[in-house]
Amino acid sequence: MQGACVSVLCVCICVSVLLRSAISQSHRETDTHTECTDGYHWDPQTEHCKDINECETIPDACKGEMKCFNHYGGYLCLPRSASVIPAPEPPITPTEAFNPCPLGYEQLGDSCVDVDECERDEHDCQPSQQCINTLGAFTCQCPDGYRKVGTECIDIDECRYRYCQHRCVNVPGSFSCQCEPGFQLAGNNRSCIDVNECEMGAPCSQRCYNTYGTFLCRCDQGYELGPDGFTCNDIDECSYSSYLCQYQCVNEPGKFSCMCPEGYQLLGTRMCQDINECETGQHQCSESQTCVNIHGRYQCVDNDRCQDPYIQVSDNRCVCPVNKPACRDLPFSVVHRYMSITSERSVPSDIFQIQATSVSAGAYNTFRIRSGDDNGDFYIRQINNISAMLVLARAVSGPREYTLDLEMVSVNPLLSYQGSYQTSSALRLSIYVGPYSF
């Protein structure tokens, strides 16, 4: 019995000696160990190995567009757009009591149970990370939009994966899609759909046409698009050409119109036509007068225009009786006619044909301008023995009036025994020159 007890005592003493020896050795090793692995250096104050910040000690640790991020025992070269949540320095944990259970477990009676490091806050997850307990350990999960590299969470550049149809903007932990002008984000926040600017108040002053990604402004007829691409300005058609209207062009918003002078009316949209006041009844001639229409106006002439010694025998014809001595050197008959011509008429121009109404057998007829052409603006071209043409020789401008006596002289040798028998008749032609070339 005593021997067993001595034996137990010896074992206890030996164990005690061994434990004191191990503790002493561990303490001596701690006191004398000053070497650290690569990436660390010995800190005499804390008597622990401390991480070396290579980003500060190594010049140009990362080349090009890469940025240096310090890491435990080393460093990382990442794009400058990367976002890194640095891990805190690992805490210096004090020497724990002996635990017969595996790491991550603790003794509970005769059993080993899992330690919930997350609940006890015995983990080294970063504040932005979520601690997830596992059997015998734990894991640190990075938030959405980050990936874990070592103990650090590095931002995921989602724009590298072409999630967006147009433009992608990476932000820490996420990204956003943007559309080009003229588009807007669809319901999935990634695709871009066309915006109908015309329905959203596009600044077109007249007509708007939506196109893919933009819009076009167009103008109504008679307008042109201004330099800003939105405003429609009236086109002054009258300033482009002087031939748009025969008389006068009047510009109006989006169009133009033609006007005619007094006494004329529009023929179509651009030409001017003389108004025949005598046919429309728009005159003030009396019953003893005859209305004569001329270019741009009318003229009232007396029904009896015969002057002594002539007497009227019909509406337009006067005769001079042969028994009157005053009629000896005058044409036997005078017929009154009226006509109107435009200004600046091209010359030479045939304007009036003279025709004999009766001719005696054997008579020879000649035609001449007896009076009224003092400036030589006209001449006679004889066509044959019974007709001739009055020709305008020079361009004339109106308003102006000519009264020409056109005479036909007939010579008939068969009617006289002592010489040729000569007689004449006249046509008194009143020519009114209008004020315009139309």
Query: Tell me, what's the pLDDT at 69?
Result: 85
Query: Tell me, what's the pLDDT at 4?
Result: 34
Handedness of CA 277, 281, 285, 289 (dihedral sign): positive
Residues written for the chain: 438
Tokens of 295: 């270019």
Is the distance from CB of 207 to CB of 194 less than 8 angstroms? no
Nearest to 210 by CA among 236, 249, 183, 187: 183
Angle at 129 between CA 124 and CA 133, to 5 degrees: 65
User: Is 261 in a helix, a strand, or coil?
Assistant: coil
Distance CA 12, CA 6 (A): 10
Query: Tell me, what's the pLDDT at 6?
Result: 30
pTM given for the model = 0.56
Q: Residue 61, Cα to own-chain centre: how many angstroms?
A: 55
For residue 370, report the phi and psi dihedrals to the nearest 5 degrees: -75, -40
Query: Tell me, what's the pLDDT at 406?
Result: 97
Query: Tell me, what's the pLDDT at 150?
Result: 82
The tens place of each residue's pLDDT in the chain, 438 residues long, gives 333 333 322 222 222 322 233 233 333 333 445 678 888 888 888 777 888 998 889 988 898 888 888 888 888 888 877 777 665 555 555 555 677 888 889 888 888 999 999 999 988 888 888 999 999 899 999 998 999 888 888 999 999 988 899 999 999 989 999 999 999 999 999 999 999 999 999 999 999 999 999 999 999 999 999 999 999 999 999 999 989 999 999 999 999 999 999 999 999 999 999 999 999 999 999 999 999 999 999 999 999 899 999 999 988 999 999 899 999 889 999 999 999 999 999 999 999 999 988 777 778 999 999 999 999 999 999 999 999 999 999 999 999 999 999 999 998 877 655 555 788 999 999 999 999 999
Query: Tell me, what's the pLDDT at 362?
Result: 79
User: Is 60 in a helix, a strand, or coil?
Assistant: coil
Is the distance from CB of 53 to CB of 37 less than 8 angstroms? no
Query: Tell me, what's the pLDDT at 74?
Result: 87
Residue 115 to residues 12, 131, 295, 388, Cα–Cα distance (Å): 32, 13, 121, 139
Q: How many CA atoms lie within 13 A of 145 on its CB side?
A: 14
Tokens of 190: 């990634």
Query: Tell me, what's the pLDDT at 37?
Result: 85
> Kind and range of the H or E element at 138?
strand 137-141
User: Looking at the DSSP assignment, which residues form a beta bridge with residue 266?
Assistant: 272
Query: Tell me, what's the pLDDT at 180?
Result: 95
Distance CA 130, CA 345 (A): 104
Cis peptide before 309 (omega within 30 of 0): yes
Is the distance from CB of 87 to CB of 124 less than 8 angstroms? yes
Domains of the chain: 110-154 (2.10.25), 157-194 (2.10.25.10), 197-234 (2.10.25.10), 237-274 (2.10.25), 311-433 (2.60.40.60)
Query: Tell me, what's the pLDDT at 189?
Result: 93
Provide CB contacts within 8 A for 1, sequence distance 6+.
none
Is the distance from CB of 72 to CB of 150 less than 8 angstroms? yes
Q: Render 43-56 in DSSP notation, one character per residue.
A: ETTTTEEEE--HHH
47 Rama class: left (phi>0) / alpha (psi -120 to 50) / beta: left
Query: Tell me, what's the pLDDT at 3?
Result: 37
Q: Render 157-222 in DSSP notation, one character per residue.
A: -GGGGT-SSSEEEEETTEEEEE--TTEEE-TTSS-EEE--GGGGT---SSEEEEETTEEEEE--TT
